[in-house]
Amino acid sequence: MNILVACEESQAVTVALRRLGHNAYSCDIIPCSGGHPEWHIQKDVLPLLDGFVLFHTADGTPHFVGGRWDMIIAFPPCTYLSNAGACRLYPKKGQLNMERYQKGLEAKAFFMRFLEANCPRIAVENPVSSKVYEMPPHSQEIQPWQYGHPVTKKTRLWLRGLPLLIPTNIVKPTGPYVPAGTGRKDKSKYGAAKRGGQDSINRSKTFPGIAAAMAEQWAGPSQEVQDE
């Protein structure tokens, strides 16, 4: 299948799909950190959504998708939508920060471009959002500890033409991936990250167990892999 993984610089899902033999490409406006520029499109993703498109990967190689994408998996930015930023959205009780609210509306519009794309199979991921943005109903909520990572970090999925993601390796969580409180000192492998800059990018990376589940359950081995 031809699969577009939007807003993914880590390439976690892209690599998992490639291992199963699919023609998957990550796309982000920043360079990829997954080590495969030959699978990464470094440009605005919106012109690519409808398929029927010629593009170059980061290694300079041209590619052409002669039809719609078979699947789109998207991880649009959540900075202004996430409920974790409610303290900034409401600096004082009952007082809405209109500048931040407007940025949140723009982020929602960007999110909706993926959910409404002309594609038979769509998955859009985002954390719990602030109620003020009235996001469409999500399909399910997942946690890293359901896929082999012993931490909590609630994530929502909006699905079209795809089944719910099934847990693959349930383990006991030891604590939150990004603690909501302040003053936490424990910086374990999945511990708290500082806010802003590179740390913000690191917090948004997809857990390998979740990436593998997405690839295996939504795409499965390609026909070429099955024939080997």
Parse the chain into domains and list their residue ranges: 2-227
Which of 93, 88, 43 has its CA nearest to residue 195? 88
Whether the predicted pLDDT of 185 surpasses 90: no
Please name the CATH architecture into which domain 2-227 falls: 3-Layer(aba) Sandwich (3.40)
119 versus 85: the higher-pLDDT residue is 119
d(CA 33, CA 205): 10
Helix, strand or coil, per DSSP, at residue 12: helix
- The 23-28 sheet, strands edge to edge: 40-42, 23-28, 2-6, 71-74, 122-126, 155-160, 140-142
Q: What is the mean pLDDT of residues 202-206?
A: 77
pLDDT at site 142: 98
pLDDT at site 99: 84
Q: What is the mean pLDDT of residues 90-108?
A: 82
pLDDT at site 212: 98
pLDDT at site 85: 63
pLDDT at site 92: 72
185 versus 43: the higher-pLDDT residue is 43
- Tokens coding 127: 């954390």
Whether the predicted pLDDT of 198 surpasses 60: no
Whether the predicted pLDDT of 164 surpasses 60: yes
- Tokens coding 26: 């990550």
pLDDT at site 179: 42
pLDDT at site 176: 93
d(CA 20, CA 110): 29
- The reported pTM is 0.87
Whether the predicted pLDDT of 152 surpasses 90: yes
185 versus 3: the higher-pLDDT residue is 3
d(CA 34, CA 31): 9
